[in-house]
Structure 1
């Protein structure tokens, strides 16, 4: 496996902070994203390389191993641990029971799952593959309904169904979609972190949505009907006479889908904001003065 300098890939120094690494990754990911570089194989390869570098350097434990072991960072620490256990066990068993090296080897294999076909071959210990970490950026409207996506992680296309109601910064695990295991060990897992961008007029809090609605002074005083936009269409609301500013109305079931509970929704909370009329005519001012005297 050729050595890849992940710091050079992200164009950061080896002393870069987590914040600097994150900023560098996002900048490069936007630049080389496949959606912005259609049919550009070079940009596609660069994008994959950037993601690979971010998966390692954005994870403190992985970064520590990478700095210490270089290209062998995935298994370097495990090798050292297994070697220490072997040496300690050899010394202990030799002093307690007088095991020979050959006898120890057979015992070690039975204990730790190694497999030896001949006494001259090296012992092998099974290791799980590296876990991968990726970010998936979506808009709030994208996660209002269940939909399918294809992700490219380390040159592999992964098809997944994204349930409705995914939360911002929620992490899901896909088993076996990480790095390959060593010596027949299981593959690692893929952890996907969702970054949900909200470009709507709604504020989301859990399964509920919140929205401010302007109400003219006359409708608030006399009552009436208005059309209000919800996340999935318009509804007609009746306004009670003498509705006060900051009055809240709950529209049950008009909020956001409940994660992995099909057909269940939170509520939409409407807050009325009464707008005071401006640029009054002379006659309007006279009428308001008459009302003032009456009150």
Structure 2
């Protein structure tokens, strides 16, 4: 396997921080994304390389292996184990034969990854493929309902189902969609992290939603009807007389979908913010003064 410099692909140095890697990946991915460069084979290859580099370098554990073992990073631990096993074999051979033979010094990587069966009768070991990491950025409204989406990972299109109610920062695993196993070993897994952007006026806390609603002084004092927004439409509320500033009401089942629980929702909490009238005319001022005398 030829060595691929993932740092060079992303345009960063080996001392780059996790934030630097993330920033560089997003910049390069936007530049070479297939949607931006239709029918451009070079951009398509660059996009594939960028994703591959990010999948390795954005994972601290994989990055450490890559820095140490280079193109053999996926099987670094297995390499160390094989090296220790061969050292033990060499010591046993030395004690029984009085020295080492050329066969004892067979190329470790050749034995493990493509050298076939060695003279000692060892067969190629099977190794699990690498795990891939990807990030999907969505709007809050996008995860209010379950949806399907096609994502590109390492040059392959994968159709996934995104359950309603997924949270910001949540990671889900898609089994078997990582790197191909070595010598018939199992494939790795795909880990997808969700970045949920909330551009709505609602605040979300797990499956509950919160919103502030303006309430005019007269409705607060006398009571009445008020139309308020929920995440999926408007509802009419009955306001009790003498409702205080900061009073809160709960609309059961009007919150956000519960993750992987079909037809179950959290609650919506509405907090009333009293709006004091301004730019009063003379008659209004006189009436308020009269009320003040009564109180």
Matches within 5 A, 1:167-186: 167-186=167-186
> Which residues of 2 match residues 182-201 of structure 1 at below 5 A?
182-201=182-201
In structure 2, the partner of 1:149 is 149
Structure 2-normalised TM-score? 0.87
- Is it true that 1:265 corresponds to 2:232 in the alignment? no
Shift of 1:45: 3.1
* Structure 2 CA distance for partners of 1:183 and 1:132, relative to 1, 3 Å: same
Using the TM superposition, give the Cα deviation of residue 241 of structure 1 relative to its aligned residue in structure 2, in angstroms.
0.6
Mapped to 2, the partners of 1:278 and 1:41 lie a distance apart of: 63
Partner of 2:233: 233
Matched residue SS, 1:50: helix
- Deviations, residues 102-135 of structure 1 (Å, cap 9, x unaligned): xxxxxxxxxxxxx976747763111100000111
Q: Deviation of residue 82 (structure 1)?
A: 2.2
Alignment of 1:16-95 (within 5 A): 16-88=16-88, 91=91
Distance 1:175 1:168, change over 3 A: same
> What is the match of residue 291 of structure 2?
291
Q: 1:60 deviation in Å?
A: 1.2
Structure 1 residue 224 displacement after superposition: 0.6
Cα gap change, 1:264 to 1:93, in 2 (>3 Å): farther
Tell me by how many angstroms 1:38 deviates.
4.5
Alpha-carbon distance in structure 2 between the residues aligned to 1:287 and 1:241: 20
Deviation at residue 32 of structure 1 after TM alignment: 3.4
Normalised by the size of structure 1, how large is the TM-score?
A: 0.87
Q: Secondary structure at the match of 2:70?
A: helix
Question: SS in structure 2 opposite 1:219?
Answer: helix
CA RMSD of aligned residues (A): 2.8
State the secondary structure of the residue aligned to 1:88. Answer: helix
Question: Aligned residue for 1:107?
Answer: none
Deviation at 1:165, TM superposition (A): 0.7
Identify the residue that residue 278 of structure 2 maps to in structure 1.
278
Task: Give the secondary-structure state (helix, strand or coil) at the position aligned to 1:16.
Answer: coil
Q: Which moved more, 1:276-285 or 1:127-136?
A: 276-285
Partner of 1:125: 125
Secondary structure class of the residue paired with 1:74 = helix
Output one character per residue of 1:53-79: Cα deviation in whole Å (capped at 9) or x when no partner.
111111111111111222221113321
In 1, Cα distance between equivalents of 2:247 and 2:65: 56
Q: Could you tell me which residue of structure 1 aligns to residue 15 of structure 2?
A: 15
Return closer, same or farther for 1:231/1:35 CA change in 2, 3 Å cut-off: farther
Structure 2: unaligned runs, 5 residues or longer: 102-114
